[in-house]
């Protein structure tokens, strides 16, 4: 058991050192370089190597957690019936990916957009129709403009009013037009 533990610790140390020295480095620490070990030796004179390994292990664990979170979020978006449409605009098209954005302003705007999209405020968007087709079809029954946007006019139950005929001036002669102007 002790030899297995020693082998495991030795392999961890090798992976940690390689991770720091790779080009580009796998993570951003320099605890196992000559400079890093000298600094650890001053701060932790008796346990410099142990402190350096613990620091690198914490960083690699953090990186691994970030990668797992990234994988899970991509899997969540991949499960959506996500069909992007550039006519929806950048915010709506990118809103399902809001958790992946690091810039606070973009992340907030995309999260707000995603919440509004999920609440039904943007049912005119093609993305809403691809993710929540039943809800959008129901809205199309009562809103002609959304039905037209999605090409579902046949679902609309609203009867359109006939267009009013405007009296055109093409049929009038010049005299009647001039006469009309003189009476005004």
pLDDT tens digits, 5-61: 888 878 878 888 888 777 887 777 877 777 888 888 888 888 888 888 888 888 888
Average pLDDT on 151-167 reads 75
Same domain, 59 and 98: no
Render 114-165 in DSSP notation, one character per residue.
Answer: HHHHHHTTTTTSHHHHHHSHHHHHHHHTT-HHHHHHTT-GGG--PPPPPPPP
> Does residue 37 lie in a domain region?
yes
Same domain, 66 and 139: no
Same domain, 29 and 14: yes
> Does residue 126 lie in a domain region?
yes
The Cα 27–Cα 65 span in angstroms is 13
> Does residue 71 lie in a domain region?
yes
> Does residue 151 lie in a domain region?
yes
Q: Where is average pLDDT lowest: 15-19, 75-79, 90-94, 138-142?
A: 15-19
Q: In terms of C-beta distances under 8 Å and separation of at least 24 residues, what long-range contacts does 26-33 make, across chains too?
A: 26/60, 26/63, 27/56, 27/59, 27/60, 27/63, 28/59, 29/55, 29/56, 29/59, 31/55, 31/56, 32/56
- Structural domain boundaries, residue 66: 1-79
> Does residue 104 lie in a domain region?
yes
Same domain, 93 and 121: yes
Same domain, 17 and 68: yes
Average pLDDT on 131-157 reads 87
| 176 or 2: which leads in pLDDT | 2
Structural Rg of the chain based on CA atoms: 33
> Does residue 142 lie in a domain region?
yes
| 101 or 181: which leads in pLDDT | 101
Same domain, 52 and 96: no
Q: Domain count for the chain, please give it.
A: 2
pLDDT of residue 21: 77
Q: How much of the chain, in percent, has pLDDT values that exceed 90?
A: 28
Same domain, 58 and 89: no
The Cα 19–Cα 56 span in angstroms is 9
Nearest in space to 21 (alpha carbons), one of 32, 37, 12: 32
> Does residue 178 lie in a domain region?
no
Q: Tell me the pLDDT of the chain averaged across its residues.
A: 83
pLDDT at 168 over 70: no
pLDDT at 165 over 80: no
Q: Is 105 left (phi over 0), alpha (psi -120 to 50) or beta?
A: alpha
Same domain, 72 and 135: no
Same domain, 94 and 144: yes
């Amino acid at each position: 058991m002790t030899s297995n533990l020693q082998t495991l610790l030795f392999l961890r140390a090798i992976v940690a050192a390689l991770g720091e020295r790779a080009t580009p480095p796998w993570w951003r620490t320099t605890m196992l370089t000559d400079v890093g070990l000298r600094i650890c030796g001053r701060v932790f004179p008796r346990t410099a190597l142990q402190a350096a390994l613990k620091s690198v292990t914490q960083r690699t664990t953090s990186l691994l957690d970030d990668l797992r979170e990234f994988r899970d979020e991509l899997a969540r978006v991949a499960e959506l019936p996500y069909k992007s449409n550039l006519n929806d605009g950048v915010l709506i098209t990118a809103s399902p990916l809001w958790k992946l954005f690091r810039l606070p302003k973009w992340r907030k705007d995309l999260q707000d957009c995603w919440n509004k999209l999920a609440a039904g405020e943007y049912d005119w968007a093609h993305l809403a129709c691809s993710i929540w087709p039943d809800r959008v079809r129901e809205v199309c029954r009562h809103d002609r403009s959304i039905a037209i946007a999605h090409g579902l006019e046949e679902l609309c139950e609203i009867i359109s009013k006939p267009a009013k005929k405007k009296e055109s001036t093409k049929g009038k002669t010049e005299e009647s037009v001039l006469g009309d102007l003189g009476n005004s």
